[in-house]
Amino acid sequence: MTRLIPTCSQTVGPFYHFALARPEWSNLARKGAKGRKMHVEGRVLDGDGKPCRDAFLELWQANAAGRYNHPDDMQDKPLDAGFVGFGRALTDAKGCYRFTTIMPGPVPGRGNALQAPHIAVNVFARGILKHLATRIYFADQQEANAADPVLGLVHDPARRATLIARPAKPGRDKVPVYRFDIRLQGDGETVFFDV
SS3 110: helix
pTM over 0.85: yes
Q: What is the pLDDT of residue 154?
A: 96
What are 23-80's pLDDT values in tens digits? 677 899 977 899 999 999 999 999 999 999 989 899 999 999 999 998 899 899 999 9
Q: What is the pLDDT of residue 171?
A: 85
For residue 71, cis peptide bond before it (omega within 30 degrees of 0):
no
SS3 101: strand
Query: Domain 16-183 in CATH: superfamily?
Result: Aromatic compound dioxygenase (2.60.130.10)
Q: What angle do CA 38, 106, 68 make, to 5 degrees?
A: 80
- The domain segmentation of the chain, as residue ranges, is 16-183
Helix (H) or strand (E) holding 157: helix 157-160
Q: What are phi and psi of 65, to 5 degrees?
A: -85, -10
What are 97-133's pLDDT values in tens digits? 999 999 999 999 888 889 999 999 999 988 787 899 9
